Amino acid sequence: MVTRLPHLIATTARLAWEADKSALRLVTLAEVGRGISQAVSLVAVNRVLAHLLETGTTAERLAHAGPALTVAGGAALIGAVLRSLSTAGTGQLEPKVERVATERYLAHTANVELEAVEDDEFHKLLDSASYGAGSARRMVKYCQNVITALMSLIAAASVLAILHPILLVMLVAMTLPSAWAALSVARRRYTSFHVWVQHSRAGQLISRLLISTEAAPEIRVHQVGPFLLHHFRAMSQSQEGEQKRLARLAARTGLIAAGWTGVATAGAYATLGGLLWTGVMALSVGGTAVLAIRSGSSSLNNLVLQVNWLYEESMFVGDLHRLCEEAAKRTIPVGGLPLPKEPAQITFEDVAFTYQGKDNKRALDGASLTIPTGKIVALVGANGSGKSTLIKLLCGLYQPESGRILWDDVDAADADRQELVSRVAVVGQDFYRWPFTADVNVTIGRPDEPPNQERLEAAARYAGAESLIEELPRGWSTLLARGYKGGHNLSGGQWQLLGLSRAHYRRGQVLIVDEPTSALDAKAEQQLFDQIRMLADAGQTVILITHRLGSVRAADLIHVLDHGRVAESGTFEDLLSDEVEGPKVFRDLYRIQAAQYATEAPAVPSQNGRPQVPGGRQ
């Protein structure tokens, strides 16, 4: 604790310096001033006692003690003024330190690779580090308290050392047990926190689900409430068990420490008695010694307590520092080779990729394909065949385990990542529904540029979202966050239109749409495909991922993925044709879909009177 103390104070001081230099100066000066005033006060009290116990009449003794008494009073007054100055400075510093620490945490986290965010070890660190900012705030207060206690202690200890050095030893002996107890309890609490951090996060997740607006309908219709409550209770109860264990251990440690402190205190007073008895110490000095022992032991106890809290909080701030270090190692690299301005094609060369986790299979297992720019390229394949993974690699969210992704002849691994992501606009299956207004939900596609109304309207036109915006209670300014005043809710399909508008607003060279029509009605779907065709005709590269195989008819090239590899590629006609060689994965999937239409759709009478089934065999 002693060796760590300067480091802990320095860490907090650095954060405080960054947050508010003048407030830190004020607190430091006020605290040093308070220490000096306390020392002066103790020495003055010593003088007062000496004068009061000397021979002479009461009036004479009081008159002699007068000046020292005035000094003691003056020192106390100055100490009080300095204390209030220090309190004001600390109050100013605390929230600023918390903000600086929080910003550091958030900035580092926002810049790490996606893989780091999905790594459970990193996430665990994120969880514990999230307490670091609050701890940094509290550390300011504890640091102030430590300095106060330290100054009082130095004052009392100096007096004791002058009176008799053995008294100083006794003072330390009286305080050591409580120091040991406080430290043991803090360590145990911190270790337990780390063991339980994910458990408590899971408990919080369940409690948040119970009040979440997204889960509310299902909680009611499927009566999930009691199930969630049961799990919440079970998780809380196991945590209560841990708290009980810690409390029992803390009580035992406290009892042992109190016993030792009692013995040491008795020893201290016995020693003092011995010194007085043998005449080594004068009675007047004995009185001061009692005062100094009492003041010193209470300062030392307070110091131990404050350092202990400081120590406990510092462990969380330590987590915050570790997170920042770890995040810096896993941050998205800056700089790299420039990408060709107008690449002719993007090529995947034997790309393999496995998600983190010990039992994960390869999501991409030697995928090779070409995406010619300015065309519509469709990616199709069964669930889990690797389509979305391929797109995430194309966007630079993950790096291939082996193989290369080339923009003409520039390997994406060596390219400037910022430039790479600025070339793509993506509306994924799990695109985010930002709890902001409708216009922000679209313009957030290009947050680095000021919002542009014309471009916003064009994006809405592209996605067919104009009538949706017109019907919103406040148009573009409607808040799309349920549970907030004026908050409005959209249907799944309406959200999809906004997601598409966002991707269009971004104006990336490559537009990636993953299942863009899954929630759209037939008319909106048709309108969207017309728009996509128009974009491709104007030179935009569109990558389309869909399970609606009929809708890839308009694609210039279709890649069919199967178990992380490209099973076959070609145009819609090629892939259905008997003449073109291949495993015919697409044709099999297409026939299954077409058969569903054949049995489900009502027959439409044809002109020659025979029934005809849309999309089906006749």
Kindly report the three-state secondary structure assignment for every residue of 22-69: HHHHHHHHHHHHHHHHHHHHHHHHHHHHHHHHCCCCHHHHHHHHHHHH
Shortest Cβ 504–ligand ATP spacing (Å):
22
Closest to ligand ATP by CB, 140 vs 363, is: 363
- Three-state DSSP at 74 gives helix
Closest to ligand ATP by CB, 417 vs 559, is: 559
Shortest Cβ 564–ligand ATP spacing (Å):
7
Using CB under 6 A, which of the segments 184-192, 381-389, 454-462, 586-594 binds ligand ATP? 381-389
Kindly report the three-state secondary structure assignment for every residue of 116-142: HHHCHHHHHHHHHHCCHHHHHHHHHHH
Using CB under 6 A, which of the segments 16-24, 80-88, 352-360, 573-581 binds ligand ATP? 352-360
Query: Which among 151, 153, 145, 173 has a CA at the least distance from the CA of 292?
Result: 153
Closest to ligand ATP by CB, 318 vs 381, is: 381
Pairing verdict, β 557-562 and 565-570: antiparallel
Q: Does 360 bind ligand ATP (CB under 6 A)?
A: yes
CA-based R_g, the chain, Å: 36
Q: Does 546 bind ligand ATP (CB under 6 A)?
A: no
Using CB under 6 A, which of the segments 147-155, 181-189, 283-291, 376-384 binds ligand ATP? 376-384
Give the amino acid at 50.
A
The token pair at 155 is 């004052």
Closest to ligand ATP by CB, 357 vs 583, is: 357
Shortest Cβ 463–ligand ATP spacing (Å):
21
- Per-residue burial over 14-52, b = 16 or more CB atoms within 10 Å of its CB, e = otherwise: ebbeebbeebbebbbebbebbbbbbbbbbbbbbbbbbbb
Shortest Cβ 387–ligand ATP spacing (Å):
4
Residues 43-82 that bind ligand ATP (CB under 6 A): none
Cα 153 to Cα 35, 177, 199, 302, 362, distances in angstroms: 9, 17, 42, 9, 64
426 contacts 502 by C-beta, under 8 angstroms: no
Shortest Cβ 385–ligand ATP spacing (Å):
4
Shortest Cβ 389–ligand ATP spacing (Å):
3
Whole-angstrom distance, CA of residue 334 vs CA of residue 315: 31
Closest to ligand ATP by CB, 114 vs 601, is: 114
Closest to ligand ATP by CB, 160 vs 363, is: 363
Q: Does 565 bind ligand ATP (CB under 6 A)?
A: no
Whole-angstrom distance, CA of residue 529 vs CA of residue 549: 13
Shortest Cβ 510–ligand ATP spacing (Å):
17
Shortest Cβ 548–ligand ATP spacing (Å):
12
Shortest Cβ 353–ligand ATP spacing (Å):
9
HSE-up of 502 (CA within 13 Å, CB side)? Answer: 24
Residue whose pair of structure tokens reads 């299956």 in the numeric block: 429
Closest to ligand ATP by CB, 295 vs 496, is: 496
Helices (H), 279-398: 283-329, 387-394
Using CB under 6 A, which of the segments 53-61, 245-253, 382-390, 409-417 binds ligand ATP? 382-390
453: left (phi over 0), alpha (psi -120 to 50) or beta: alpha
Closest to ligand ATP by CB, 313 vs 562, is: 562
Whole-angstrom distance, CA of residue 575 vs CA of residue 577: 6
Closest to ligand ATP by CB, 156 vs 363, is: 363
Q: Residue 518 gets which letter from DSSP?
A: T
Shortest Cβ 495–ligand ATP spacing (Å):
18
What is the spatial order of strands in the sheet that 424-427 belongs to? 424-427, 510-514, 541-545, 376-381, 557-562, 565-570
Question: In degrees, to the nearest 5, what angle opens at C-alpha 25 toward C-alphas 20 and 27?
Answer: 95
Cα 331 to Cα 111, 127, 130, 328, 395, distances in angstroms: 5, 18, 18, 5, 16
Whole-angstrom distance, CA of residue 129 vs CA of residue 376: 45
Shortest Cβ 397–ligand ATP spacing (Å):
10
Shortest Cβ 361–ligand ATP spacing (Å):
6
Residues 383-422 that bind ligand ATP (CB under 6 A): 383-389
Closest to ligand ATP by CB, 191 vs 356, is: 356
Shortest Cβ 330–ligand ATP spacing (Å):
16
Shortest Cβ 545–ligand ATP spacing (Å):
7
Binding-residue total with ligand ATP (CB under 6 A): 13
Closest to ligand ATP by CB, 35 vs 428, is: 428
Closest to ligand ATP by CB, 98 vs 119, is: 119
Whole-angstrom distance, CA of residue 293 vs CA of residue 287: 10
First to last CA, the chain: 85
Closest to ligand ATP by CB, 236 vs 354, is: 354
Residue whose pair of structure tokens reads 């003041």 in the numeric block: 295
Closest to ligand ATP by CB, 178 vs 388, is: 388
Cα 418 to Cα 282, 339, 499, distances in angstroms: 79, 11, 22
Shortest Cβ 377–ligand ATP spacing (Å):
15
Neighbours of 260 (CB within 10 A): 17
Question: Quick one: which of 227, 355, 432, 484 contacts ligand ATP (CB under 6 A)?
Answer: 355
Q: Does 381 bind ligand ATP (CB under 6 A)?
A: yes
The token pair at 7 is 């480091």
Using CB under 6 A, which of the segments 163-171, 279-287, 354-362, 523-531 binds ligand ATP? 354-362
Closest to ligand ATP by CB, 384 vs 487, is: 384
| String marking each residue 103-142 x if it binds ligand ATP according to CB under 6 A | ---------------x------------------------
Closest to ligand ATP by CB, 272 vs 561, is: 561
Shortest Cβ 35–ligand ATP spacing (Å):
56
Q: Residue 447 gets which letter from DSSP?
A: T
**Which residues of the chain form contacts with ligand ATP (CB under 6 A)?**
118, 355, 357, 360, 363, 381, 383-389
